[in-house]
Structure 1
Amino acid sequence: MIAELGTYSLILAMFLSILLSVVPMVGAQRSSLLLVSYARPLTIGVTFFVGLAFAFLVYAFLTNDFSVEYVANNSNTALPWYYRVSAVWGGHEGSLLLWVLTLAGWTLAVALKSKALPLDIIGRVLGVLGIITTGFLSFVIFTSSPFERLLPRSPAQGADLNPLLQDFGLIVHPPMLYMGYVGFSVAFAFAIAALLSGRMDAAWARWSRPWTNVAWAFLTLGIALGSWWAYYELGWGGWWFWDPVENASLMPWLVGTALIHSLAVTEKRGVFKSWTLLLAIFAFSLSLLGTFLVRSGVLTSVHAFASDPARGFYILVMLAVAIGGSLLLYGIRAAQVKSDSSFTLVSRETLLLVNNVLLTVIAFTVLLGTLYPLLIDALGMGKMSVGPPYFNALTVPLGALLMVALGVGALVRWRQTDATQLFKRLIGPLVLAVVFGVATMMIRGGEGWDHWTYVGIILAYWIVFCALVDLYDRAGKRSGSLFASLKKLPRAYWGMHLAHLGMAVLAVGIAMVSAFTEHRDMRMAPGDRQEVGQYVFEFKGIEHVEGPNYTSDKGVINVYQDGQLYEVMTPEKRLYTARGNVMTEASIDAGLFRDLYVALGEPLEGGAWAIRLQFKPYVRWLWLGGLLMTFGGFLAAMDKRYRKMSQRDAKLA
């Protein structure tokens, strides 16, 4: 009965989403406030029934209802309850339902938090979101229902959840990633609403800006969590492999980063309107492309779902309609997209334009490297792979230029800046960055310092010192004490610099872990010792462990520092009994400035094992940088000026 109720809930949600797609749109076109006013109640109804369907699926997992095929394929009676909940989005059908629930949640948030906006604008925004919701609900109902019955023969225990996904990372990573992916639909909806209404002034950019910041922050957090999960769960010790599915999340993040900067320029200066509209369209389109890559069956990846290609074709059609329809609308309305002001070569607008160009070029580079092998394979021209050498060779120099522009952009002013004065302001941060970079190299010492490592460290210092100069200038112009002046700076300003600081921390992490990681893949028998990174690892032997749904060979490795026992590390090789999968569970001694990483390989003759030992300096700074950027995005979105200006815009409308 639960499965049938879930299906009925989805059908009702789809019916309401169709009404949401049509009624407020017609009302906005006819200037009928009555029709437009139905948008919010319809949104509440869609969210309620999608949430109800999701709750039914969670209940089916918690009660081990293996008469539901999706539950039988992704759960087991021995699975801990918290993994049963996360198993809801551990497969294709459930993850699509999570996607729709997230979309409904975003739509409801817009409906409830945008009451100050003109009714015609909010009607069009919710109408566009209703169209997107209808498309995904039809996809779930007709091709990917998680409520299909497995009758009359239901398994007694279930096939179990993929062991790779039986981890805390699965509990938090997909929801955060989806919040970012789907959040860009709001920016897309505001862009389409602006094109439909012809109202492409600073107000619509101001309305869209906090929503875009929140979506970008969630996507940043989702990517960081995915990198962290791959690092400790897959047993290879890497944090980014340029996997096509990893790239699928990076591309909308890059375009979304350009979008939040472009929105700032459109709001403050009335320029870059074309950029902003196109970036909003492409950010959401790349999110849909990521969905297609993960679910179409064209990729083989630990991140991808092995799905029917017909499902991928459905999403491909949705992608074609979204991109084609929105670009057609843009082409029709392009003549009305005019800038309201001008700027000189030496200005913040110019630096943000450079920022947009660099981010877009990086995104295109990643897109080309991701899709080119698929295109070659589809044309029957053989199989090929595009790996880290291609991506690193192109993205690292472009990323360095982006960091240069980031530092300069903090010190230029809107519209026009005196070049001589700017040069004087930049000299101090440049000299300090070089001096601190050289000092870091001398203190760190050792081999591994190539030119890109040195450049990365200098640019990280460059961003920090440029931000400090700007902070001092801003606070110094206000009356009162320095502390009181700092408190008066808006949250959006603090959020910007916090995100930029996160980029600097990320750059340090990338530079240091890439240059100074030490690793050994070796055979170790009980009693063998190996030195890595000033630590001595001694293999003591193997212990047998019985888990709730697995058996494990747990290695015991003593770690010594300066002749004293420092830590006991216990990597595991687990056999999950339901599916017979063997998984590696690395043992990690984490620290702010370095990680010790140990993973078991295969058993060898004479009681020996293949063991991977790694010393990874500053690897935690990768995810610390991601967290700082995430907090920066959220802080910027909470700026009180957005709410006050939206209320003012509504009164003027």
Structure 2
Amino acid sequence: MIVEIGHFALILAFMVSIVQATAPMIGASRGWADWMRVAEPAAALCWALTATSFAALTWAFVNSDFSVKLAAEHSNTLQPLLYRVTGVWGNHEGSLLLWTLILTLYGAMVAAFGGALPPTLKARTLAVQGLIGAAFFAFMLFTSNPFERLPNPPLDGADLNPLLQDPGLAFHPPFLYLGYVGLSMSYSFAVAALIEGRVDAAWARWVRPWTLAAWTALTVGIALGSYWAYYELGWGGWWFWDPVENASFMPWLAATALLHSAIVVEKRDTLKSWTILLAILAFTLSLMGTFIVRSGLLTSVHAFASDPTRGVFVLAMLAAASGGALALYAWRAPQMRAGGVFAPVSRESALVLNNLLLAAAAGVVLLGTLMPMIREYWDGAKISVGAPFFELAFTPFMVALAIILPIGAALPWKRGRLGRTARRMAPALALALAAAALVWALQTGRSALGPVGVGLGTWLIAGALAEQLERARLGRAPAAETLRRLRKLPRADWGKALAHAGLGLSFIGVSAVTAWEAELIRTARPGDSLELSGYVFVFDDVRQVPGPNYVARQGVFRVFEGGVETARLTPEKRVYTVQRMPTTEAAIDMGLARDLYVVLGDPQDDGSWAVRIYVKPLVNWIWIGALVMALAGLVSLSDRRYRVGAAARRPAPAAVAGAAR
């Protein structure tokens, strides 16, 4: 009965989304206030119905109702409760329902918190959001019904993919979808503005919080996915340029550009056309990611489905959403003339350069991701585009971006003097050069990657700090005045500084682990000692370890540094009892300075075991930097100026009267 309620709620949500997509749009075009007001209750009701449907599907998984086909195929009674819950979105149909739940949640939030929006813009925005929702509801109901029943349910389920039975997968997809789907809100605002023919500073103020929220969630989701691949897949890497990794990275790059571009629209009333285009492209790239995951055209460990008919449906949605919006953009773009002018040396120019670099980087990733598919379609040749291409083509844009960020952020609006700004940033530059020189002197090899990466990361961190201290007039005002100014700095400015510093931390982590990682791959027997980078790994034993729904062979390694035992690592080779699928569980001794990473491979005919050992310097700085960037987004969102419709506090009438006297 609960499953049927969930299915019925999904059908009702589809019908309500059609009303949400049509009535407010008609009302806005005709000036009918009552029709426009339909948008708010429709958006809230659509979310409530979708949440009911999602709760019903979760109930089926948690209670092992294997008469539901989806639960039978992706759950098992032996699974821990956490993985029965995550199994809800560990498949095509359930993940699509999660996507739609988050889509309707954003619409409900705009309905609830967008009170200061102009009625016509709000109605049209929610109508566009409803149209997107209607497309996804149709996709589910007609091609991917999550509530399909089995006439003869099995006694036990087929189990969730063992690779997905990990705590990281409990949080990675929801955060990723909060980011992916959140960009639909920027898209809806952009299309609504194009229909109205009005893009101004107020529009930029309204769109920025939703874009920032999506960017923050997407940052967390990408970081969690990267870390999951690092410790779960046992490959020892943190990024593989996998097509699905790229599918989440491209919208992040576009959203980052959109955030910076919207600042120019808000502050200087220019870059309107470009900002609207970025909002459309960011969501288009999100839909492209959905197409890549669900079409079966590209293979990936992350892919959900390989049904071509589903891929055609998503492709049709992608074509309609992007084609319709771009046609509307082509019609309206000539009317969106810039209102402000600025000199070649100014913060506006720096932000334009920032956008060009981010857009070019996203284009490189898009080209490398789609090239195998394009080439196969063109002449039937099967090619692969791997890390060497991406690293060679992508890295220069990121290096250039890191160089200009601190200077660009410190330049004044409209017109600036490069020499004056450079003098203010000279201490940060000196610190960065000193860090690079120190690393060059200390490293054993002569690779430039490590010093350059550490120097750029230090430049980003020190530059962000120097800008804040300059605004607080450090050294030019009494200490008490400097502290007061620091406390009074807007939270959005602190968020910007944290974001740039977080990027710097990630730069240092990426360059360090790439330049100085040490690796040892060999066979070993229990009792053998293996040396790597000053550490001695003593292979003690291999033992059988039972799990809740798997059996494992667990290796035991003791790690010594300078004759002192510093860690005990227990990597595993698991075999899941239902699917009979083997997985590798790496053992990691984590630290700020380095990770010790041990993987137990397959047994050999002579009684030895394949063993892989890595020493990874500063690798955790990659994810620390990402979390600092996400924290920066939250800090900026807490700034009152970022809240839609949050007016400045006014003094009480009595205080005003007293001041007048």
Superposition TM-score, scaled by structure 1 size? 0.97
Map 1:147-296 onto structure 2 (within 5 A): 147-151=147-151, 153-296=152-295
Separation in 1, partners of 2:291, 2:533 = 43
Matching residue of 2:317: 318
CA deviation map 1:173-198 (0-9, x unaligned): 00000000000011111111111112
What secondary structure is seen at the aligned counterpart in 2 of 1:607?
coil
Answer with 427-436 or 638-647: which moved more: 638-647
CA displacement, residues 227-283 of structure 1 (integer Å, 9 cap, x when unaligned): 000000001110001111110001000011000000011000101111100000000
Q: Which has the higher mean CA deviation after the structures are superposed, 532-541 or 508-517?
A: 532-541
Shift of 1:481: 2.2
Matched, 1:456 2:450: no
Aligned position for 1:535: 535
What amino acid is the match of 1:256? A
Q: 1:644 Cα shift?
A: 7.7
Q: Which residue of 2 aligns with 1:65?
A: 65
Residue of structure 2 in register with 1:469 after alignment: 466
Matched AA of 2:70 = Y
Preserved contact between residue 10 and residue 49 of structure 1 (Cα < 8 Å): yes
SS at the partner of 1:167? coil
Q: Distance in 2 between matches of 1:137 and 1:505?
A: 41
Separation of aligned partners in 2, 1:501 and 1:319: 35
CA contact (8 A) 1:344 1:350 kept: yes
1:646 Cα shift?
5.4
Match of 1:52 in 2: 52
What does 1:447-596 align with in structure 2 at a 5 Å threshold? 447=445, 449-476=446-473, 481-596=481-596
Deviation of 1:647 after TM superposition, in Å, equals 4.3
Residue 653 of structure 2 is matched in structure 1 by none
* Aligned residues of 1:26 and 1:35 also touching (Cα < 8 A): yes
What's the CA shift string for 1:501-534, capped at 9, x where partnerless? 0100000000000011111111000111111121
Q: Is the 8 A contact 2:574 2:585 kept in 1?
A: yes
Q: 2:381 aligned with 1:387, yes or no? A: no
Q: Secondary structure at the match of 2:338?
A: coil
Q: Offset at 1:411?
A: 1.7
Rounded to whole Å, the distance in 1 between the matches of 2:579 and 2:645 is: 57
Deviations 1:548-606 (A, max 9, x none): 11011011111111112222111000010101000001111111111010111111134
Counterpart of 1:230, as a letter, is A
What amino acid is the match of 1:446?
Answer: T
Say if 1:525 and 1:606, in contact at 8 Å, map to a contact too: no
- Distance in 2 (alpha carbons) for counterparts of 1:496 and 1:93: 38
Secondary structure at 2:632 match in 1: helix
Task: For residue 473 of structure 1, report the CA deviation from its aligned partner.
Answer: 1.8
Give every structure 1 segment of 4 or more consecutive aligned residues whose post-TM-superposition deviation is greater than 6 Å. none
State the AA in 2 paired with 1:445.
Q
Contact 2:372 2:383 in 1 (8 A): yes
Aligned to 1:89, the other structure's residue is in SS state coil
Secondary structure class of the residue paired with 1:157:
coil
Q: Write out per-residue CA displacement over residues 80-134 of structure 1, whole angstroms, 9 at most, x where no aligned residue.
A: 1111000000010000000000101111111111112111111111011000000
Q: Distance in 2 between matches of 1:137 and 1:634?
A: 31
Instruction: List per-residue Cα deviations over 1:596-643 (Å, max 9, x = no partner).
Output: 101111111343110111100101001001001111112112211234
Whole-angstrom CA distance in 2 between matches of 1:420 and 1:94: 56
Q: Distance in 2 between matches of 1:635 and 1:465?
A: 19
Comparing 555-564 with 132-141, which one deviates more in the overlay?
555-564
Task: Provide the secondary structure at the position in 1 that maps to 2:87.
Answer: helix
Residue type of the partner of 1:578? V
Number of the residue aligned with 2:657: none
Shift of 1:383: 0.3
CA distance in structure 1 between the aligned counterparts of 2:347 and 2:593, rounded to whole angstroms? 35
- Could you tell me how far apart the structure 2 residues matched to 1:594 and 1:432 are? 23
Preserved CA contact (<8 Å) 2:435 2:451: no
SS in 1 for 2:174: helix
Separation (CA, whole Å) in 1 of partners of 2:613 and 2:392: 28
- Say whether residues 1:349 and 2:348 are aligned partners: yes
Cα distance in 2 between the residues matched to 1:297 and 1:500 = 37
Q: Deviations over 1:382-408 (max 9, x none)?
A: 100011111000111111000111121
Corresponding residue for residue 655 of structure 2: none
What is the CA–CA distance in structure 2 between the aligned matches of 1:639 and 1:34, rounded to whole Å? 33
Corresponding residue SS for 2:519: strand
Q: Does 1:41 align with 2:60?
A: no
Post-superposition Cα deviations, 1:131-153, rounded to whole Å, max 9, x if no partner, equal: 000000100111011111111x2
Is the deviation greater in 531-540 or in 420-429?
A: 420-429
In the alignment, the residues of structure 2 paired with residue 109 and residue 252 of structure 1 have an alpha-carbon distance, to the nearest angstrom, of: 22
Give unmatched runs, 5+ long, in structure 1: 649-653
Q: Does 1:599 align with 2:596?
A: no
**Map of 1:109 onto structure 2:** 109
Q: TM-score, normalised by structure 2?
A: 0.96
Q: CA deviation at 1:483?
A: 1.6
Given that residues 3 and 148 in structure 1 are in contact (C-alpha distance below 8 angstroms), is that contact kept between their aligned partners in structure 2? no
Secondary structure (helix, strand or coil) at the match of 2:558 reads strand
Report if the CA contact (8 A) 1:526-1:607 is conserved.
no
Give the distance between the partners of 1:49 and 1:426, measured in 2 at CA: 54
Match of 1:403 in 2: 402
Distance 2:644 2:139 in 1: 39
SS in 2 for 1:436: helix
**Partners of 2:283 and 2:266 in 1: how far apart?**
20
Number of aligned residues = 645
Separation in 1, partners of 2:52, 2:77: 24
CA contact (8 A) 1:271 1:339 kept: yes
Write the distance in 2 (CA, Å) between the matches of 1:128 and 1:644: 19
CA offsets 1:419-475 (integer angstroms, 9 cap, x no match): 332342343332331112212333x4322x422322211111212222232112211
Q: Are the counterparts in 2 of residues 207 and 646 from structure 1 also a CA contact under 8 Å? A: no
Match for residue 146 of structure 1?
A: 146
| Rounded Cα–Cα distance in structure 1 between residues aligned with 2:82 and 2:462 | 45
Structure 2 unaligned segments of length 5 or more: list them: 649-661
1:365 aligns with: 364
Amino acid aligned to 2:312 = F
1:395/1:612 Cα in 2 relative to 1: closer, same or farther (>3 Å)? same
The separation in 2 between residues aligned to 1:161 and 1:298, in whole angstroms, is 23
Aligned residue identity for 1:174:
P
Structure-1 separation of matches of 2:524 and 2:455: 40
Post-superposition offset of 1:154? 1.2
Paired with 2:509 and 2:471, the residues of 1 have a C-alpha distance of: 29
Give the whole-Å Cα distance in 2 for the aligned partners of 1:125 and 1:16.
16
- 3-state SS of the aligned residue for 1:379? helix
Does the CA-based 8 Å contact 2:206-2:644 persist in structure 1?
Answer: no
